[in-house]
């Protein structure tokens, strides 16, 4: 099944708006969460194909969300992008990819085209927004 629904979980409203705008340009449905607990609940109930999780959120971190969702629904295997302004460096990225099976590790700030390229790496059927490559 192709990509239709994306969760963006970040405690920054401004960042969620930025990412949601990029996702909507691709014609994707966006669901938002401001806390890790909301992110976990949405992932388990709505099962988005892509989850973009902030590393440091109230109530549960992005790492904890991944652990809890995988424990509660081992058959659910979304693509996970991890975004962070805190956990920077190769050590953190390596751990996220190996221990948490994160497919993309994006350090804030990043450009809209970085997010678009990451989406197309995992969902090649997602077209570039009109007028953009």
**Residue 68, token pair as written in the block:** 């809890």
pLDDT of residue 111: 94
Is residue 129 included in any domain, yes or no? Answer: no
Is residue 132 included in any domain, yes or no? Answer: no
Is residue 128 included in any domain, yes or no? Answer: no
**Overall domain count for the chain:** 1
User: CB pairs under 8 A, 24+ apart, for 102-107?
Assistant: 102/66, 103/79, 104/79, 104/80, 105/81, 106/81, 106/82, 107/83
Which domain does 72 fall in, by range?
Answer: 5-122
pLDDT of residue 96: 86
* CA distance linking residue 104 with residue 81, whole number of Å: 5
Distances (CA, A) of 97 to 17, 18, 80, 87, 92: 26, 24, 10, 13, 9
pLDDT tens per residue across all 133 residues of the chain: 578 999 999 999 999 999 999 999 999 999 999 999 999 999 999 999 999 999 999 999 999 999 999 999 999 999 999 999 876 778 888 888 888 899 999 999 999 999 999 999 999 988 776 665 5
Enumerate the β-bridge partners of residue 105.
Answer: 82
Is residue 131 included in any domain, yes or no? Answer: no
Radius of gyration (Cα) for the chain, nearest Å? 14
From the CB of residue 89, how many other CB atoms can be counted at a distance below 10 Å? 8
């Amino acid at each position: 099944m192709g990509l239709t629904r994306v969760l963006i979980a970040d405690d920054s409203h401004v960042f969620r708006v930025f990412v949601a705008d990029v996702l909507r340009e691709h014609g994707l449905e966006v669901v938002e969460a401001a806390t890790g607990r909301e992110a976990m609940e949405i992932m388990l109930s709505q099962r988005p194909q892509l989850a973009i999780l902030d590393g440091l959120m109230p109530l549960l971190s992005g790492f904890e969300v991944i652990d809890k969702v995988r424990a509660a629904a081992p058959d659910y295997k979304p693509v996970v992008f991890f975004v962070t302004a805190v956990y920077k460096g190769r050590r953190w990225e390596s751990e996220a990819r190996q221990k948490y099976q994160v497919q993309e590790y994006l350090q804030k700030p990043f450009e809209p085209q970085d997010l678009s390229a990451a989406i197309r790496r995992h969902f090649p059927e997602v077209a570039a927004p009109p007028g953009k490559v």
